[in-house]
Structures are given as C-alpha cells and as structure tokens.
Amino acid sequence: MRRLIGGLFAAFALLTGATIYISHRSWDGLVDRRYSETAANEFAEREAEARAGFTAVLPDRVRAGENRFRAVLSTSAGPLRGARVSLDAMRIEGPRDDRSFSLREEAPGAYAADVFLPLPGQWIFSLSVDADPLHARRRWTAEAKPSDAAGILRRVLGGREVLLSITPWPPRAMRELDFTATLPGYAGKASPYVELSMRGMEMGRNRVDLSRGDDGRYRGTGVIVRCPGGRRDWEATVTAPGAGKAVFHLVVAD
C-alpha cells in the first residue's frame, strides 16, 4: 500500500514538474511577440498614405437594412483607379452578424456596394484598399439608424426600382406573411414569384406565388421557416419571368 501511495506521489510530482517546465518554455509573456512588427507595418502604411496624398470620402450615415455604400478614393495624382476595395461591418456585441462586402469601381476613384445591415445600433466598419504599392485602411464606428420604411425593401431591376413589402413587420418565423411586389413597367404574361432562401444553408424549396391586383401590384402569402441552427438572415428573390430577378435581404425577428 505504501509503495502504491509513494508511486502515485512520485508520478504526481513528475507531472507537476513537467507542466511547469513546458509552461515556462512556451509562455509568450503578456505582450504579443509580433507587436513591434505589427506596429511598424502600421506606421509604414500610414507614412505611405501620407506620401501618396491618399484621401477617402466615406458615407456619414447608415441605417438598418439596405444601404448604398460609396467610397471616393484619391491620391495627389488624382482618382485612385483599379484598386481592390473591401468593407467589413462588425457588431460591437459579437461576431454573429459580422459581414464583408467587395466594392466595385463604378466611376474613376468611386467604389460602391450594396451593404445590408440587419440591425440598428452601433457598428464598426473597416475599409481596406489595396492598390500596389499603396495599402490603406480606414476604421470607424457609426450608428445604424432604424429604417424609416420598415417592411419596404428596395432594389433596382432593369433600371427601375422594385419594391417588396412584407407585413407584418418585422417578419417572424413560422407566421403567415403578406408579400407585395411593385414591378414598374413589367408586362410579362407569367406571374412573378418570391423564393425564400438562406445563403449557405439548405432550407428546402419555399416559393410564394404572386397574383396581380387591381392596383398593378402583385401579392401573395407565405411562411418563413425557422432555421435549426438559429440563423435569422434570409434572402427573398423576386423573379419577374423574362425581366430578371431582384434579391432582397431581411432578418426575421425570431
């Protein structure tokens, strides 16, 4: 019995010593070893921006829902053309609603993208610009105001604004919803329809057929199912046969 206890004590002492040794060898300290390198790179990028005369004109307001984000970039030589530009949008509360967008150059030095923010409140934005040898970044915080037209979503299809209204708003999963689509200039014989889907998830076929009303708008009813994984971001794709599709983004309340 004494031998057993002695053996267990010796094994415990050996394990403790090994743990202390490994911890001592692998401890990085309280400061990241790459801190100096990261800081040096950051300062170098800022100096390169200053030498190039880089400037960025960014939107001063955003709202919950769809936003047309437009960044105007220039240097001392004029509009910054041919850059790779991306935008990260992050919630202060956590990464659940974080998202990234690629901006396209729609005019010399003007880069834009449709940016969907699912919730009002504080957001952190990070704009990255890559135009060798220039690498620039802008970070800021902004409050997304509640949408002033809750339940009405807007998109452009064939040069015309398409409206999709969902009631009641905000939509809830497993509840019957009314969908109303306004399609200016649509003269197709086939009725349009709405397909509900979730990017990256197989949620099954969910189609809402629309019928034309006396006022020229198309209406139908449907249900958004509840995602087993807890996700709440959905896409509603309005298809006007022969005219094209418009994709709307929405977030269910539960």
Domains of the chain, earliest start first: 50-145 (2.60.40.1930), 152-251 (2.60.40.10)
* Concatenated DSSP letters of 93-124: TEEEEEEEEEEEEEETTEEEEEEEE-S-EEEE
Q: Which residue has the higher pLDDT, 80 or 158?
A: 80
Q: Residue 225 has what pLDDT?
A: 95
Rounded-to-10 torsion of CA 30, 31, 33, 39: 170
Whether the pLDDT of residue 118 is over 90: the answer is no
pLDDT band at 99 (very low <50, low <70, confident <90, very high): very high
Average pLDDT of the segment spanning 32-50: 68
Whether the pLDDT of residue 108 is over 90: the answer is yes
Which DSSP letter does residue 109 get? T
pTM, two decimal places: 0.53
pLDDT band at 211 (very low <50, low <70, confident <90, very high): very high
Tell me the pLDDT tens digit for each residue of 153-208.
Answer: 888 887 888 999 998 888 999 999 999 999 988 988 899 999 999 998 999 999 99
